[in-house]
Amino acid sequence: MFHEAWLLDSGRFDDWLDLFADDGIYRVPSEPQQTVPIETANIIYEDLSLMRMRVQRGDHPQVHALEPGPRTLHTVDNVEAAPTADGGIAVRST
């Protein structure tokens, strides 16, 4: 999580995309308790190919809407890790 935040804040979006699994989905739900993505519209619901397209579009020299480019400062707090039923680990933070 710390490395991901650093990549985003450094504008290293291609390296950030490399963190995702090929079948991963990047989703921002439109409602706080939304657990099933197809029941309600999402703010973002993209697979890796759409995410790559978004990053490439942002790098295009004629994307004047992104001038100046995005600047962020992510903080990672309250990190919690817990075992999952399948033997993995679920990690979350604020």
Per-residue pLDDT tens digits for 1-12: 899 999 999 989
Question: How many structural domains does the chain have?
Answer: 1
Name the CA dihedral angle for 72, 78, 83, 84, rounded to a multiple of 10 degrees.
-50
> Tell me, what CATH number does 82's domain have?
3.10.450.50
Full domain range(s) for residue 23:
2-92
pLDDT in tens, 52-94: 998 888 777 777 666 677 788 988 999 999 999 999 998 888 8
Least confident of 17-21, 34-38, 48-52: 34-38
Q: How far is CA 87 from the centre of its chain?
A: 24
Contact (Cβ atoms closer than 8 angstroms) between residue 40 and residue 34: yes
Query: What is the per-residue pLDDT for 50?
Result: 94
Percent of the chain at pLDDT > 70 equals 96
